[in-house]
Amino acid sequence: MSALPPRVVPPESLAREAAEWMGRALQTSLAMKRRASLALSGGSTPAPAYRELSRLTLPWERVDLYFVDERFVPPDHPDSNYHLVEEALVGPLRLSPSQVFRMEGEREDREAAAKDYEARLPDVLDVVLLGMGEDGHTASLFPGHPALEEQSRRVLSVVGPKPPPWRMTLTMPTLLAANAVLMLVAGAGKRKTVQRALGRDSALPAARVTNAQWMMDTAAAGR
């Protein structure tokens, strides 16, 4: 767990609070350099936060979007994380394609696709948005999977238990090197896993992201 105390907010405020957190973190980076990088996750929790983010006034032309993970499906597929981010953020903000570095889930050679993405990633990501599954996975790093122990590669192609199984993911060293990481969790179904993660159960991939600020709704916090 992060040294920072978890933030617990009412369910109706979670998306806005998360967006504002990301907005502040981007502004902090942009105060020090010309461009900032923001890496985004998929799943059901982030979409409302991305919509809120798209309403924030920021120098968006100086922000580059990256991905935390992607499913090996075409970019217009409903399971594509790019598709989610396109609809909720890229489209509404009319970001230029030159600012959006998507993981190429349509590639047949998954290993080559992961290596190519690794080459495009900045040395250090400025802002990273993560989610946690009920099994404690984060990004596409699943409990007990060898990819979780990866120390040298920054991006891997993996086969996970969550459908669709073929995925590309940032690895733990990449997440741990990032400047600002938000772990966003919602819903009573995550309550038990949240408790284990707060207890630093290192079997849970999400608990290993020790640089993350946790933000959850009252249901996930069991309040």
Residues that bind ligand 6PG (CB under 6 A): 41-45, 68-69, 81, 131-133, 137-139, 162
Q: Which is nearer to ligand 6PG, 61 or 87 (CB)?
A: 87
Q: Residue 42 CB, nearest distance to ligand 6PG (Å)?
A: 3
Which of these, 114, 204, 106, 126, lies nearest to 154 by C-alpha position? Answer: 114
Q: Residue 209 CB, nearest distance to ligand 6PG (Å)?
A: 11
Q: Which is nearer to ligand 6PG, 35 or 48 (CB)?
A: 48
Q: Residue 35 CB, nearest distance to ligand 6PG (Å)?
A: 24
Q: Residue 47 CB, nearest distance to ligand 6PG (Å)?
A: 9
Q: How far apart are CA 107 and CA 9, in angstroms?
A: 39
| Omega of the bond leading into 164 within 30 degrees of 0 (cis) | yes
* Residues in a beta bridge with 56: none
DSSP 119-167: HHS-SS-SEEEEE--TTS-BTTB-TT-GGGG--S-SEEEEE-SSSS-EE
Q: Which is nearer to ligand 6PG, 1 or 49 (CB)?
A: 49
Q: Which is nearer to ligand 6PG, 29 or 81 (CB)?
A: 81
| Strands 212-217, 7-9: pairing kind | parallel
Residue type present at position 80:
S
Q: Which is nearer to ligand 6PG, 63 or 185 (CB)?
A: 185
- Residue 9 has φ and ψ, to the nearest 5°, of -130, 155
**Rounded to an integer, what is the distance from CA 180 to the centroid of its chain?**
11
Q: Residue 113 CB, nearest distance to ligand 6PG (Å)?
A: 16
Q: Residue 84 CB, nearest distance to ligand 6PG (Å)?
A: 8
Q: Which is nearer to ligand 6PG, 47 or 56 (CB)?
A: 47
What the block records as the tokens of 202 is: 């290192």
